[in-house]
Amino acid sequence: MTKQSAIELKNITKVFGKVVANKNVNLTAYRGEILSILGENGSGKTTLMNMISGIYFPDEGQIFIDGQEAVIASPKDAFKYKIGMIHQHFKLVDAFSAAENIVLGLNEGKYDLKASTEKIKEISSQYGFEINPEKKIYTMSVSEKQTVEIIKVLYRGADILILDEPTAVLTPQETERLFSILRRMRDDGKCIIIITHKLHEVLSLSDKVAVLRKGEYVGTVITAETNESELTEMMVGKKVSLNIDRSEPVDPVPRLVIKDLDCIDRNGIKILDDISFTANSGEILGIAGIAGSGQRELLEAIAGLQQVQCGEIVYNDPKTGKEENLRNKTPMQIRDLGVRLSFVPEDRLGMGLVGNMDITDNMMLRSYRKGRSVFLERKGPKDLAQHIIEDLEVVTPGASTPVRRLSGGNVQKVLVGREIAAAPTVLMAAYPVRGLDINSSYLIYNLLNEQKKKGVAVIFVGEDLDVLIELCDRIMVIGSGRITGTVDGRTTTKEEIGLLMTKTEQQGEVQDE
């Protein structure tokens, strides 16, 4: 039973300013084992792994590799200890090929791309990767890019692999493929550490689960001996029910009708291709798809932030019964038409809010123009800020705290609160629970459900298929800028949506031949 640990952390502490990211964390991982690090966003998973891979340096504590104490002060040191990290955000040079990216920064003496390519092929066949070493990064799908990142660390001889939320950007099928590769690596004697907050993945993949909560180490359990609700309780610290109630839509009428919408991006590439759909009042329409398939552009086109090539965006005004075409109108013009369109963008602090402004001033973003005066009216926004802080239980020292100081969940409450306060008839939300803890996520789902009951047409762009299936009335799947199918949220399955997500790519290949 004296198995040699591959990596052992002892009393690791890391503090950023006042925020304790990790406190006295103890962790052991063995070779031939997959260890999941489970925790909510902000529980310190990534910080901990960054310390192992040399990006941060711990304030206190020790790291042991193969029983020897190690000082990992830079990513170079990490490589020396054969530690490789696959980050959530890929760090690849777009204009280079896969092979070029893999050897980049290596000092092997001679630059011999042919030999490197051979070695890459060897690694690929050993673990079952499918990769073309000559392919340029910018032509690759997300899953291919991830493969390159993994091969990159294997090429450097890593035998301790850390993967930060590797499945966040993958379809269910791609996830399965990744998992089988990871299992093969484990059987090969490598130590795999995977960071995640998806419970079912933890259960299906890992041998052991280490749980972090608010920077503190809660415990390690053997996966086979635990279940979903026990893990959730460890993660959150209390029992939570994981059910979203879904009511039947009440008299849905078409609120927003999109017809044959086309958009091109800055490089002239078609990003939205012939999109037609209807969003009904009193209904949640989910939009599923691989990240970057045109979801953002679609919402921005509706909100008046994205130039539209052709097509129509017709809004049916519930008050007057009139039809308004919103195509290529600015957000100002849309508002002047009396269209109450609220939009919770994906980039909260870079688009929806101003990080350096306080909550009151952020409330004003939507309403500051009101009135003829050249001066600002801060009373209304201040009351609204107070109201949102109380109603949505925003944790903040006060209404005059800059929003960037708030945690992710509270930032999102402020943003969603403001957008809902405008009494919308259409509410669009892009990845509204990304990075949020479980409690905040469920609060957001409930807010969306409330709006639905009020007769608002809700459009919800999500990434977690389980949630989409539980929350939405209809789910529209988008792939490479095209609608690949619309399914009923009550009857569909994850696999069905997963297949639709990748459908256009396959069709495209067929057409090319």
By CB under 8 A, tell whether 398 contacts another protein: no
Closest contact distance (angstroms) between CB of 427 and another protein is: 15
By CB under 8 A, tell whether 465 contacts another protein: no
Q: What's the token pair of residue 453?
A: 């009951």
Please identify which residue in 3, 62, 118, 230 interacts with another protein, judged by CB under 8 A.
Answer: 62
Give all strands of the β-sheet with 341-344 in edge-to-edge order: 341-344, 426-430, 457-461, 283-288, 474-479, 482-488
Assess contact for 286 and 462: CB atoms under 8 A: yes
Closest contact distance (angstroms) between CB of 119 and another protein is: 31
Please identify which residue in 181, 221, 236, 365 interacts with another protein, judged by CB under 8 A.
Answer: 365
DSSP assignment letter at 4: P
Residue with smaller CB distance to another protein, 73 or 253: 73
Please identify which residue in 219, 254, 331, 398 interacts with another protein, judged by CB under 8 A.
Answer: 331
Of 36-44, 120-128, 279-287, 360-368: span binding another protein (CB under 8 A): 360-368
By CB under 8 A, tell whether 328 contacts another protein: no
DSSP assignment letter at 39: -
Closest contact distance (angstroms) between CB of 40 and another protein is: 23
Residue with smaller CB distance to another protein, 17 or 157: 17
By CB under 8 A, tell whether 352 contacts another protein: yes
Give all strands of the β-sheet with 160-164 in edge-to-edge order: 68-70, 60-65, 5-16, 19-30, 216-222, 208-213, 33-38, 191-196, 160-164, 83-86
Which residues are within 8 A (CB) of 458 and not within 5 positions of it... i.e. 6 or more apart?
Answer: 279, 283, 284, 285, 426, 427, 428, 429, 448, 451, 452
Residue with smaller CB distance to another protein, 150 or 363: 363
In this structure, which long-range contacts are made by residues 367-376, counting pairs with CB atoms below 8 Å and at least 24 apart in sequence? none
Please identify which residue in 81, 179, 343, 445 interacts with another protein, judged by CB under 8 A.
Answer: 343
Distances 262 to 193, 477, 508 between C-alpha atoms, Å: 43, 17, 18
Among residue numbers 253 through 282, which ones bind another protein (CB under 8 A)? none
By CB under 8 A, tell whether 224 contacts another protein: no
By CB under 8 A, tell whether 247 contacts another protein: no
Of 97-105, 284-292, 356-364, 469-477: span binding another protein (CB under 8 A): 356-364
DSSP assignment letter at 158: -
Closest contact distance (angstroms) between CB of 149 and another protein is: 27
Residue with smaller CB distance to another protein, 75 or 355: 355
Amino acid letter, residue 399: A
Amino acid letter, residue 47: T
Assess contact for 147 and 131: CB atoms under 8 A: yes
How far is it, in rounded angstroms, from Cα 27 to Cα 474? Answer: 43
Please identify which residue in 71, 93, 250, 395 interacts with another protein, judged by CB under 8 A.
Answer: 71
Residue with smaller CB distance to another protein, 229 or 330: 330
Among residue numbers 104 through 163, which ones bind another protein (CB under 8 A)? none
Closest contact distance (angstroms) between CB of 374 and another protein is: 5
Q: What's the token pair of residue 226?
A: 């635990």
Closest contact distance (angstroms) between CB of 377 and another protein is: 9
How far is it, in rounded angstroms, from Cα 28 to Cα 307? Answer: 52
Please identify which residue in 374, 509, 510, 513 interacts with another protein, judged by CB under 8 A.
Answer: 374
By CB under 8 A, tell whether 16 contacts another protein: yes
Beta strands in 39-104 (DSSP E): 60-65, 68-70, 83-86
By CB under 8 A, tell whether 368 contacts another protein: yes
Closest contact distance (angstroms) between CB of 50 and another protein is: 14
Which residues are within 8 A (CB) of 34 and not within 5 positions of it... i.e. 6 or more apart?
Answer: 182, 183, 186, 192, 193, 194, 205, 206, 207, 208
Please identify which residue in 291, 314, 357, 499 interacts with another protein, judged by CB under 8 A.
Answer: 357
In the chain, the N- to C-terminal Cα span, in Å, equals 57
* DSSP β-bridge partners for residue 467: none
How far is it, in rounded angstroms, from Cα 428 to Cα 284? Answer: 10
Residue with smaller CB distance to another protein, 62 or 139: 62
Residue with smaller CB distance to another protein, 240 or 305: 305
How far is it, in rounded angstroms, from Cα 251 to Cα 282? Answer: 7
Please identify which residue in 351, 408, 439, 496 interacts with another protein, judged by CB under 8 A.
Answer: 351
* 3-state DSSP assignment of residue 154: helix
Among residue numbers 278 through 307, which ones bind another protein (CB under 8 A)? 303-305
Residue with smaller CB distance to another protein, 73 or 423: 73
Of 104-112, 156-164, 284-292, 368-376: span binding another protein (CB under 8 A): 368-376
Please identify which residue in 366, 387, 434, 494 interacts with another protein, judged by CB under 8 A.
Answer: 366
Residue with smaller CB distance to another protein, 190 or 329: 329
Please identify which residue in 2, 114, 269, 375 interacts with another protein, judged by CB under 8 A.
Answer: 375
Residue with smaller CB distance to another protein, 33 or 419: 419
Closest contact distance (angstroms) between CB of 417 and another protein is: 16
How far is it, in rounded angstroms, from Cα 250 to Cα 107? Answer: 65
Q: What is the DSSP track for 417-486?
A: HHHHHT--SEEEEESTTTT--HHHHHHHHHHHHHHHHTT-EEEEE-S-HHHHHHH-SEEEEEETTEEEEE
Report the interface residues with another protein, using CB under 8 A. Answer: 15-18, 57, 59-62, 69, 71, 73, 303-305, 330-332, 335, 343, 345, 347, 350-357, 361, 364-366, 368-369, 373-376, 405
